[in-house]
Structure 1
């Protein structure tokens, strides 16, 4: 089949997709797992391996909690019962003992505490990288990674950093304003003199600030501007 398709292919994208589709089809036929993550960008995931492992452990712990709760609610399907027996493996546990509900509550509480420890608290007691311990929780790791990326972006392109920090503008559905309406709107705010009726508190503040020495006027010269933008992006 590949020979036929390759001979008829005139597009590099199609030629690239043919062996990939063939491998994917073979994996589905034989039941093997095929990951397509990163194929679109050609880059691997930036998530560390230790964080992926902890996420998998948290997912397994949550699945165990769900099945134990189902058994406690009266679900006696073979899959649920098998999970309960595996959860109590190595103990003198019986599904028909009188304190079964109390045992289930204690067993459910264990993975809950593990999830809380893995998700919020430092991982120094769980992870070991060679001879050093890594004590960074998910929240602290995310904050540290964000600060590192922002500092690096500030050194290379400040404009992109400020754009990333700005909140996305809400797109309106009405017609766009023309230039004349825009000029009229802002001229009414900034060009027209306005007489404000201030309260008595302004006089109190002015009297308290009368003894403060005003700062010297700041004079910005063209040389100052040239020096400031000399190393800035274009």
Structure 2
């Protein structure tokens, strides 16, 4: 009988699905697991914002385009409310830009997107645009 049970779809737990490198589990420990994953995402967001604030604009990592998958949208939906605290404390446009870029960097890290190690200044192509 146990072999007849169908796996639970992950749409019922979008926050669990959104976390990086964690299997989706459906049991009584879901709330604790979701809480730990949210804290990990918050930590990744904070680290990315701090890193971005201390990096000159021309040396920031190039961010890739990310696919509009359900998982990626779930990550963005989870991080959006976390940004409110940072944005309310923002004093100027430069700081707001650092917060938004840091959030985009955090999303890329959480979903496991490949990031360029070269900054914009060193990563430019010598090819002449069409």
Task: Answer 1 or 2: higher relative contact order, Cα 8 Å, separation at least 6.
Answer: 2
TM-score with structure 2 setting the length: 0.28
Give the number of the structure whose alpha-carbon radius of gyration is greater: 1
TM-score with structure 1 setting the length: 0.19
